Amino acid sequence: MRVHEAAPDGPNLVEGNMVMSFRVSDLQMLLGFVGRSKSGLKHELVTRALQLVQFDCSPELFKKIKELYETRYAKKSSEPVPQPHRPLDPLTMHSTYDRASSVPRTPLTGPNIDYPVLYGKYLNGLGRLPAKTLKPEVRLVKLPFFNMLDELLKPTELVPQNNEKLQESPCIFALTPRQVELIRNSRELQPGVKAVQVVLRICYSDTSSPQEDQYPPNIAVKVNHSYCSVPGYYPSNKPGVEPKRPCRPINLTHLMYLSSATNRITVTWGNYGKSYSVALYLVRQLTSSELLQRLKTIGVKHPELCKALVKEKLRLDPDSEIATTGVRVSLICPLVKMRLSVPCRAETCAHLQCFDAVFYLQMNEKKPTWMCPVCDKPAPYDQLIIDGLLSKILSECEDADEIEYLVDGSWCPIRAEKERSCSPQCPILVLGTSDANGLPTTPNVNGGGGSALGGAGGGGSAAGGVENGKPGADVVDLTLDSSSSSEEDEDEDEEDEDEDEDGPRPKRRCPFQKGLVSAC
């Protein structure tokens, strides 16, 4: 802490002059109004009151100061605010406010000031109200999962106080009773996490376009007397690639005073040449199911419009030598390899292939990237549409995983390739029941049964034979190749001679069971 002489500056100049003109009784009423000690000499009471003006920017305080001042100067309300006739007493202030003397001041004349405009939007130590010359403001991109309710602090630049690498920038503000009520009455997304939140967002101080959230190096956020958790780094599995940190809004709600008391936020950051800005918002956090329901309500594209888009894609190009007669679209989501339930794509995508909106929103809720899984191009939430034509196709075609769009906008399922791939590409060996001699038989078209292994006249022939008056079944031995065909013929001749001399030899029982068996 350091004691130095300072005067009220910026938007606090008028209130400071009002306080300097108060009598002891006025100062005691003001300090009693905010619950501060009323005892002490007049210069001590003035010091406490000026500290309130410097650090507590609530409209209730401003209103009370104005009320006391107008009561004292009721007959002179039209006169300008009296200036102090002596130097201010020394104030005890935080060291980060030492730069007050070097910051351009914006004096406000007259007591008629719109106090609520400054409420919660004056950031001590971070910046002052802008001068008359307006410059472009820093804008942050809209986040689909956060619905902004109030802007507590506009994007304000983090200004280094000295040449040190590690800087601290404090902010003091209070919530209105309405805002406190919104937070308390909101539902819990999970234990300890309210849907209505006060969030801190940090980005580059670039006014050329809306900025993504970006943390400065060595960031730490302290709310009142406790440090707030900041998302850590994602580990990188690739050699030579630095780990990335997901930069998101930082929820401060659970560490704040939900009362009329002021809250102090201190941002610690590394000063390495880049300029950053911070902002505070009151937001309502949404879930992926809520975004999905909103998309189903306002984001469905009519089937006829989708059909016209298909025709446009397949329209004959006179400059092209290749004519496109159709385009195939998979009914499987490229994200999770499951059948689509809510076919979705970005309006800016050039392809007809869709992904599942349910899983896409769930993945971006956990890790927001908003990149199309088909073409790897940006697919933000406000550009998403539900394909009405493909939704209709999914309900009508339940037995195919792929369709083809034709030039006239019609479609047909693609099943042939799947069926061919599932059918066996090798012969089927038909095995029947065994006959009285233990030989396997198979029924024929005439209702008779035949031996799977031929009789004496045609034991292994493909043509089959007739044994005991019953036609035999056709049998193909796939275990023999063409090189052994001659040896097979010789063996058959020898077996025929043996059968003529000694009679037919007993046949071996087929080891296969009844039914169809693939020979592959």
CA–CA gap between residue 328 and residue 379 (Å, rounded): 22
Residues 282 and 370 in one domain: no
- Looking at the domain assignment, is residue 360 inside a domain? yes
Residue tagged 């995983």 (tokens): 401
Residues 281 and 305 in one domain: no
Cβ–Cβ under 8 Å, residues 54 and 124: yes
Residues 265 and 330 in one domain: no
- Looking at the domain assignment, is residue 158 inside a domain? yes
Residue after which a domain boundary falls, among 357, 386, 414: 414
Residues 300 and 270 in one domain: no
Residues 280 and 160 in one domain: yes
Instruction: Give whole-number Cα distances, 63 to 59, 68, 179, in Å.
Output: 6, 9, 19
Per-residue pLDDT tens digits for 450-465: 444 444 344 444 444 4
Cβ–Cβ under 8 Å, residues 153 and 175: no
CA–CA gap between residue 400 and residue 331 (Å, rounded): 8
Identify the pLDDT of residue 245: 81
Identify the pLDDT of residue 113: 37
CA–CA gap between residue 518 and residue 516 (Å, rounded): 7
Closest to 204 in 3D by CA, of 155, 153, 146, 277: 277
- Looking at the domain assignment, is residue 350 inside a domain? yes
Residue 426, judged by CB atoms within 10 A of its CB (0-12, 13-18, 19+), counts as exposed
Residues 150 and 250 in one domain: yes
Residues 161 and 221 in one domain: yes
Domain at 340, CATH number: 3.30.40.10
Number of independent structural domains in the chain:
3
Identify the pLDDT of residue 127: 46
Which residues of the chain are under the pLDDT cut of 70?
1-13, 56-57, 74-134, 316-323, 416-520
Domain at 181, CATH number: 2.60.120.780
Identify the pLDDT of residue 47: 79
Identify the pLDDT of residue 62: 82
Residues 276 and 159 in one domain: yes
Residues 279 and 310 in one domain: no
Cβ–Cβ under 8 Å, residues 129 and 156: no
Question: In terms of residue numbers, what domain contains 51?
Answer: 12-74
Residues 276 and 322 in one domain: no
Residues 156 and 186 in one domain: yes
Helix (H) or strand (E) holding 72: helix 59-72
CA–CA gap between residue 392 and residue 386 (Å, rounded): 11
State pTM to two decimals: 0.56
CA–CA gap between residue 507 and residue 459 (Å, rounded): 10
Residues 274 and 330 in one domain: no
Amino acid at 409: G
Identify the pLDDT of residue 41: 79
* Residue 396 CA, distance from chain mean position: 31
- Looking at the domain assignment, is residue 450 inside a domain? no
